[in-house]
A = this chain, B = another copy of it.
Amino acid sequence: MLYRTDSSLGLVQGKSHNGKQAFFFECAHSFLESQVSAVKPLFITNHLLNSLSKPDHEWFLSHSTTIHLEFGEVLYNADDEMKYVYFPLSGFISLLVDIVDAPSIEMGLVGNEGMLGATLALGNNHVPMQSIVQGSGSALRMDAEVFDQRLETNAPLRQLIHSYLYVVSLQLAQIGACNCFHEIQQRLVRWLLMSHDRAHSNQFYLTHEFLAKMLGVRRSSITIAAGVLQQQGLITYSRGQINILSREGLESASCSCYGAAIDVYDKNIAKPSEQTKSINPFN
């Protein structure tokens, strides 16, 4: 099964000398107007916003700013006050848990299928987990208060965010179990697939060190697992640049948790009215 059918969209990102990507990064909506150089896929929209009515969607666009998320940037630490909410477009964000006597571990991933800050809809303006940028790229940023007020008055929005919260909870439980039981090899693949979806590119920036932190394992374990994938011809990598060569291969090398997470999303988040028919929501 091939979950992601739009890989033709996955153009290669520009790559600067230091291995980080050079993204366009302009005033609001530039991405909608195709004033985009060749390095990024066109028309990346946020799927949640896209699920709203057209007027609502436009309201959001006019009340938010397009910003650039830079790899490694710490948007929030756990328990910070929530000043902004983020709707990722081409960038994406890791949610990390840190407990005493243990390395940190990623328990959630937020790309253009979701948002950072949905817990405002639970009446809590603190951030539940550390949130760091895992893929450079663009996002829409909005004042938390503005978002919160809109939630009060807009029932369809509230329902959408509630559904998203339900999905995120389920994924927390699922990823928790996966991290606990499945082997590093498979978990790495799951993770690459989830990142691939949100990066909208077959190439992204990721050192083994960083991957190790996400999966809560040693760096050298990643080196070994990634080496296997490279030998199998599924990926190539060099000094932080990972290239996805075969999604199909990866999907069969992954544990089922990748597919399960997609299913949970699809089942609970309404498809945008007249969007493409790709099987998964990441496009």
Contact = CB atoms under 8 A, between A and B. Distances in A.
A177 interface: yes
29 contacts: A95-B173, A97-B173, A97-B174, A99-B178, A99-B181, A99-B182, A99-B257, A100-B256, A101-B181, A102-B177, A102-B180, A102-B181, A103-B181, A105-B181, A107-B176, A107-B177, A108-B173, A119-B166, A122-B163, A122-B165, A123-B163, A123-B166, A128-B169, A168-B169, A172-B173, A173-B176, A176-B180, A177-B216, A179-B180
Nearest to A129: B173
Given A97-B176, A102-B180, 19 more contacts: A97-B173, A99-B178, A99-B181, A102-B178, A103-B181, A107-B177, A119-B169, A121-B162, A122-B163, A122-B165, A123-B159, A124-B162, A128-B166, A165-B165, A176-B176, A176-B177, A176-B179, A176-B180, A180-B180
Interface string A245-283: 000000000011100100000001000000000000000
A157 to B, nearest CB: 12
A128 B163 contact: no
Given A122-B165, A124-B268, A180 B255 contact: no
Interface string A123-134: 110001100000
A175 B105 CA distance: 12
A170 interface: yes
Contacts of A216: 177, 180-181
A122 B162 contact: yes
Interface of A: 95, 97-103, 105, 107-108, 119, 121-124, 128-129, 159, 162-163, 165-166, 168-170, 172-182, 216, 255-257, 260, 268
A255 B100 contact: yes
A154 to B, nearest CB: 14
A147 B71 CA distance: 44
A180 B124 contact: no
A119 B177 CA distance: 20
